[in-house]
Amino acid sequence: MSKLFLTLLLAFPLFASAQSFVQLGERAEISVLTLGPSQEELYSAFGHSSFRVYDPDQNIDEAYNYGVFDFDQPNFYLNFAKGYLYYKLGVFDYQRFKNHYIRDNRYVHEQVLNLTPAQKQTMYNYLQRNALPEFEHYRYDYFYNNCATKIRDVTAEALAADSVKFDGSYITTNYTIRDLTDIYLKQQPWGDLGIDICLGLPMDKTAAPHEYMFLPDYVESSFAHGSIIQNGIRVPIVKEKISVNESREENPEEGLPHPLYIFGALMIIALVISFLDERNKKLSIWFDVLLFSVAGLIGILLFFLWLATDHQAAARNFNLLWAVPLHIIAIPAMITGSPRWLKSYFLGIAILSAFTLLTWPILPQRLNYMLIPVVITLGVRAFMQYRIRKRNANP
């Protein structure tokens, strides 16, 4: 996945617009860089990919990084919220670029491409043109057009005449896109949960081999199984793999308690409050206002992501079965009085919660198991709202 190189962007870019298209020397090489994941941030947990262009004769050693964005682009925050994400190609000094990852204890693998001089020049021209201000930006997508997939697509487009081919037969798993993201977020349960809540049914399609390449590790593997035509003969596209740096094993840093602990505690509190409410024949309105307000606001966010943005992966989100936006309408009624419709409303929510729990294993979208205590909490409190309101209405 992409990495925010704001510091590098401001300090060390090599602006291609100031250059004419340079002709490479005989010893030039073009490589694919795979940069290992880091658990320090959510966006770095998937790793990163870039190109390297090295030419000792022309004193060129550049990293071409499609993972750059900055906050100064017009309407950045509005576009981000709406899903109109624009990233750009940045060109950096390779040594500084590489050392950035080494300092962060991330592995750096270099695959030197097996290209003829003409193919190297064609690809370098493509990269130089992409780095010009009028062409440097591209429409970003988390899974289909990111810093990793650009490596695949740029190579295939630049060398189209030489029929680049990535043989995906080495992939024998049937992972969905959600499965693939989960693999990289085992140490970040809160990040994993957030992604699972915000992204909907499109995440649960079985990924085709080329779709695995939204992850840098699979870009590396696919290039290792790739080929190109040279002089009418198909040859491997990777000439040599170099391990520039290998990461050291580190103990994961302690963060927030696991979501299951938090949500489990919430469920126990809800059960205790429900027991007391049943005994006292009186609702704990304050607890339900907080609980259903949070669920309702999450539902509004999911509804917005689905229908009001261009985040394609957020469509058709089954988390709306428990994060019901209509809760926001019920909250003022709970606070100001006791409309009769609230009894029927919460009966419906209790039934919906029970339905969600019973169908959890067979829903088209795989909901995160860490949410089960949350749904139980919502269902129990909705049933208590119904039960006590019904009793109070019929003394």
CB 168 within 8 A of CB 228: no
**Hey, where are the domains in the chain?**
6-245, 259-393
Q: Return the CATH number of the domain spanning residue range 6-245.
A: 3.90.1720.10
Gyration radius (Cα) of the chain, Å: 26
Contact in structure between 66 and 87 (CB atoms under 8 Å): yes
| 212 class by beta-carbon count within 10 Å (0-12 exposed, 13-18 middle, 19+ buried) | buried
Instruction: Label residue 10 exposed, middle or buried (CB < 10 Å: 0-12, 13-18, 19+).
Output: exposed
Neighbours of 58 (CB within 10 A): 14
Spatial distance between the Cα atoms of 51 and 63, rounded to a whole number of angstroms: 6
75: tokens are 């309407």
CA trace torsion 334, 337, 340, 344 (10° rounding): 10
Q: Which residue has the tokens 């428990």?
A: 322
Distance CA 134, CA 125 (A): 15
**pLDDT value at residue 336:** 85
CA distances 275 to 278, 279, 380, 381, Å, are 5, 6, 10, 11
Contacting residues for 385 by C-beta, under 8 A, at least 6 apart: 283, 288, 342, 343, 346
Q: Among candidates 378, 363, 38, 346, which has minimal Cα distance to 196?
A: 363
- Taking 3-state DSSP, the helix, strand and coil percentages for the chain, each rounded to the nearest 5, stand at 50, 15, 30
Look at residues 311, 194, 219 and name the one whose alpha carbon lies nearest to residue 2. 219
State residue 234 phi and psi, 5-degree precision: -85, 125
Q: How many Å apart are CA 30 and CA 203, to the nearest integer? A: 34
pLDDT per residue rounded down to tens, the chain (395 residues): 444 443 343 334 444 444 468 899 999 999 999 999 988 777 788 999 999 999 999 999 999 999 887 666 666 556 666 667 788 999 999 999 999 999 999 999 999 999 999 999 999 999 999 999 999 888 888 899 999 999 999 999 999 878 899 999 999 999 999 999 999 998 889 999 999 999 999 999 999 999 999 999 999 999 999 999 998 899 999 999 999 999 888 776 677 899 999 999 999 999 999 999 999 999 999 999 999 999 999 999 999 999 888 788 899 999 999 999 999 999 999 888 778 899 999 999 999 999 999 999 999 999 999 999 999 999 999 999 999 998 887 65
